[in-house]
Amino acid sequence: MIAAKSMDVRDNFKSWCGQVANGEIVQIMRPGNTYVYLIGQDTYDKLTTKRRMEAYASYLFGKDKITNLKRLSEIEKLTDNWNNNGAGKIPASIIKSVRKLLMTIEFQPEIFPTACDALQLEWDNSKGEYLEMEILEDSVNVFQIDSEGSELHSTIEFDEEAVKALVRDFYDRAV
């Protein structure tokens, strides 16, 4: 690394550029013990790769989706007896179905494991209504509370399009 003062820049800039292009870094000292660095393209790319990847993922998926996919990965790692009371590992088939759903569903839920070997998805809309789906291996228990407190239960087969339609309807009602 080349350490320099700002007053040196004018006279040395051209030669530093040549050195920086070959991997050198120039550290230029400024008032108040602050520094400016002259770095090459390779160094810049290395420093910004992670940030650019995160920005790209955020652009593709949106923040909630990333949060949910991370949460799902955490849930996937839970082993048998994760609640110290005999809860089983959440079945891989449920994780797989929900992961696929999360990739395409417009309104992201909040996700929770249950000690009934299931995943619970929850949505709350702006009217104070509540929608819950308990995803089991062979079915989905749907529970809704409307803005007047009325409750509705149903059980459906896991079908991605049917789940999405229910969620869309839930949010459409709040408009």
Residues that bind other proteins (CB under 8 A): 71, 74-75, 78, 82-87, 110, 112-118, 120, 122, 124, 130, 132, 134, 141, 143, 145, 151, 153
* String of DSSP letters for 27-78: EEEETTTEEEEE--HHHHHHHHHHHHHHHHHHHHH-HHHHHHHHHHHHHHTP
The tokens for 160 are 């991605």
Measured from the CB of residue 172, what is the shortest distance to other proteins in angstroms? 21
Compare residues 4 and 145 and give the one whose CB is closer to other proteins: 145
Angstrom CA distances, 111 to 30, 33, 35, 38, 42, stand at 50, 47, 45, 46, 40
Contact in structure between 123 and 146 (CB atoms under 8 Å): no
Measured from the CB of residue 55, what is the shortest distance to other proteins in angstroms? 23
Compare residues 39 and 87 and give the one whose CB is closer to other proteins: 87
Measured from the CB of residue 173, what is the shortest distance to other proteins in angstroms? 18
Compare residues 12 and 120 and give the one whose CB is closer to other proteins: 120
Compare residues 54 and 74 and give the one whose CB is closer to other proteins: 74
Distance CA 96, CA 75 (A): 12
Alpha carbons within 13 A on the beta-carbon side of 109:
28
Backbone angles phi, psi at 157, to 5 degrees: -80, 155
Compare residues 8 and 110 and give the one whose CB is closer to other proteins: 110
Measured from the CB of residue 88, what is the shortest distance to other proteins in angstroms? 8
Measured from the CB of residue 114, what is the shortest distance to other proteins in angstroms? 4
